[in-house]
Amino acid sequence: MERERRYWLFKSEPGCFSLEDLKNTPLMTEKWDGVRNYQARNLLRDEIQPGDYGFFYHSNIPEPAIVGIVEVVREGYPDYTARDPEGEHFDPKCSFDKPIWYMVDVRYVRHLERLVTLDEIKKQPALAGMELVKRSRLSVQPVRTDEWEYLLHLGGISLRERICPQTSLEM
DNA sequence: GCCAACGTTGGC
DNA sequence: GCCAACGTTGGC
């Protein structure tokens, strides 16, 4: 029995990796790597499943905003960048047997019709419970279904549209 | 680039 | 196990 789809918010610094970059990646799939926070790790390892959707959020820019939608295509697996001594995300405490850190793979689905800025999100009472508003530092965070739908609406996507995973187009 | 908020580390 | 020091994130 498949569990119900859940929703997430994935952050990225567009200067480092943007939604456009994901769209232009071969197969439109990328690894969500380099997360070094235990709370986020637990989500990546235990909660986030293929078929789940996520908002793609651009952080650390003058106007941070949700810009689009991605789909999780691979469940959590050990983040091997933690074992690369040359890499930026190296963690000497990790080994093959004890990975510590995890990542998932995500696929580009679509951009929002218009982006939803953090400023706008903060003004919405319906979104006051979001992690993004309350404690903004988690790099991947859960989004409730009602929040998801509200944000789709703000992003110019009608609730009657459906996001088709196969074609990246709404039906 | 500053700094607040928060997480992690390590001495005791 | 406390807590000070330090590091990181990310809004501004």
Q: Are A3 and A49 in contact (CB under 8 A)?
A: yes
More confident residue, A165 or A33: A33
Strands A102-117 and A65-78: antiparallel
Residue A156 (CA) to nucleotide B8 (C1'), in angstroms, measures 40
pLDDT tens, residue by residue, A96-119: 877 888 999 999 999 999 999 999
- The superfamily in CATH containing domain A7-154 is ph1033 like domains (3.10.590.10)
Q: What is the pLDDT of residue A163?
A: 61
**A169: confidence class by pLDDT, cuts 50, 70, 90:** very low
Residues near chain C (nucleic strand), Cβ < 7 A?
A 11, 13, 36, 59-62, 64, 118-119, 122, 136-139
Q: Name the closest nucleotide to A41, judged by C1' and CA.
A: B7
Tokens matching residue A160: 């009657």
pLDDT value at A7 more than 60: yes
In this prediction, residue A94 has a pLDDT band, given cuts at 50, 70 and 90, of confident
Chain C positions with a protein C-beta closer than 7 Å: 8-12
Residue A66 tokens, joined:
């949700």
Q: What is the mean pLDDT of chain A?
A: 88
- Burial label for A100, CB within 10 Å (0-12, 13-18, 19+), is middle
Query: What's the Å distance between residue A89 CA and nucleotide C2 C1'?
Result: 30
What is the residue extent of each domain of chain A?
A: 7-154
Question: If you measure CA to C1', which residue is closest to nucleotide C8?
Answer: A137
Q: Give distance CA A91 / C1' C10 (Å).
A: 22
Classify A90 as helix, strand or coil: coil
